[in-house]
A and B are shown apart, each in its own frame.
Chain A
Amino acid sequence: MSARNPGVEYDSSWFDNIHVNLPAVKRRAETLGTRRTVKKQWQAAWLLRAVTCIDLTTLAGDDTPSNVSRLCFKAAHPVGKDILKAMEMENEGITVGAVCVYPNRVADCVKYLKAANRPDIPVASVATGFPTGQVPLKTRLEEIKMAVADGAKEIDIVINRHFALEGNWRGVYDEVRMMREACGEAHMKTILATGELGSMVNIYKASMACMMAGADFIKTSTGKEGVNAILPVALVMVRAIREFYQVTGYKVGFKPAGGIRSAKDACTWLSLMKEELGDEWLSPHLFRIGASALLIDIERQLFHFVYGRYAAAHEIPMS
Chain B
Amino acid sequence: MHCFTGVIGAIVPWNFPLMLLTWKIAPALAMGNTVVLKPATYTRLSALLLAEVCAEAGLPPGVFNVVTGSGAMGSMLAEHPSVDKVAFTGSTGVGQTLRRLTAGSGKKLSLELGGKSPVVVFESADLDSAVEGVVDAIWFNQGQVCSAGSKLLVQEPIYEKMVNKLKERLTHFRVGNSLDKTMDMGAIVDESQRKSIEEYVEEAKKEGAEVFQIKDSVPSGCYYPPTLITNVQTVSRVVAEEIFGPVLVVLPFRTAKEALAISNNTIYGLGGSVWTENVPLALEVALGIKAGTVWINCHNLFDAAAGFGGYKQSGYGRDGGKEGLFEYVRPAWEERPRPGKVQMDLKTFGATLPQRPTFENVDNRQITINGVTMPSIDRTFKMYYGGGQKRPDAPYVRPVINPDGKVVGHVGEGNRKDVRNAVETAHAAAPGWGKRAAHNRAQIVYYMAENLEIRRDEIAGRIQLMTGRKLEECVTEVDLSIQRLFHWGAYCDKYGGGVQETTLYGATVKIHEPVGVIGMACPDSYPLLGFVSLFAPAVVRGNTMIIIPSQNYPLSALDLYQVFDTSDLPGGVVNILTGDRDHLTKYLTEHQDVQSMWYFGSAEGSKFVEFASAENVKRTWVNYGLERDWTDPEQGQGEEFLYQSVQVKNIWIPMGDIFAN
Contacts and interface: CB of A to CB of B under 8 A. Distances in A.
B659 interface: yes
B182 interface: yes
B660 A19 contact: no
B297 A21 contact: yes
Interface stretch (B128-136, B252-260, B394-402): B128-136
A31 to B, nearest CB: 9
B181 interface: yes
Interface in A2-27: 17, 19-27
B-side binding surface: helix, strand, loop or mixed?
loop
Interface string B125-163: 111111011000000000000000000000000000000
B172 interface: yes
A24 B660 contact: no
B133 A24 contact: yes
A17 B660 contact: no
Contacts of A239: 128
A265 interface: no
B123 interface: yes
A36 B181 CA distance: 8
Given A19-B277, A23-B505, A196 B129 contact: no
A210 B36 CA distance: 64
Given A35-B182, A37-B181, A37-B182, A24 B657 contact: no
Nearest to B132: A28
Nearest to B301: A27
Given A198-B661, A199-B657, A24 B181 contact: no
Given A23-B654, A35-B181, A233 B129 contact: no
A230 B660 CA distance: 10
A292 interface: no
Contacts of B125: 19, 21
Given A194-B660, A200-B657, A232-B659, A21 B182 contact: no
A225 interface: yes
Interface string A250-284: 00000000000000000000000011001000000
B221 to A, nearest CB: 21
Interface in B609-659: 654-657, 659
B448 interface: no
A22 B297 CA distance: 10
A27 B298 contact: yes
B656 A26 contact: yes
A72 B462 CA distance: 104
A37 B130 CA distance: 24
Contact of A196 (B124, B133, B656, B660): B660
Nearest to A226: B660
B181 A20 contact: no
Interface string B94-132: 000000000000000000000000000001111111101
Most buried by B among A22, A23, A26, A227: A23
Contacts of A34: 181
B184 interface: yes
B506 interface: yes
Given A20-B126, A21-B126, A226 B505 contact: no
Contacts of A26: 656
A28 B659 contact: no
Interface of B: 123-130, 132-133, 172, 181-182, 184, 276-277, 297-298, 505-506, 654-657, 659-661
Closest 6 CB pairs of A and B: A24-B129, A227-B660, A23-B654, A21-B126, A195-B660, A19-B277
Interface of A: 17, 19-28, 34-37, 194-200, 225-227, 230, 232-233, 239, 274-275, 278
25 contacts: A19-B124, A19-B127, A19-B277, A23-B654, A23-B656, A24-B129, A24-B130, A24-B297, A24-B654, A25-B126, A26-B656, A27-B298, A35-B184, A36-B182, A37-B181, A197-B661, A225-B660, A225-B661, A226-B660, A227-B661, A230-B659, A232-B659, A233-B659, A239-B128, A275-B172
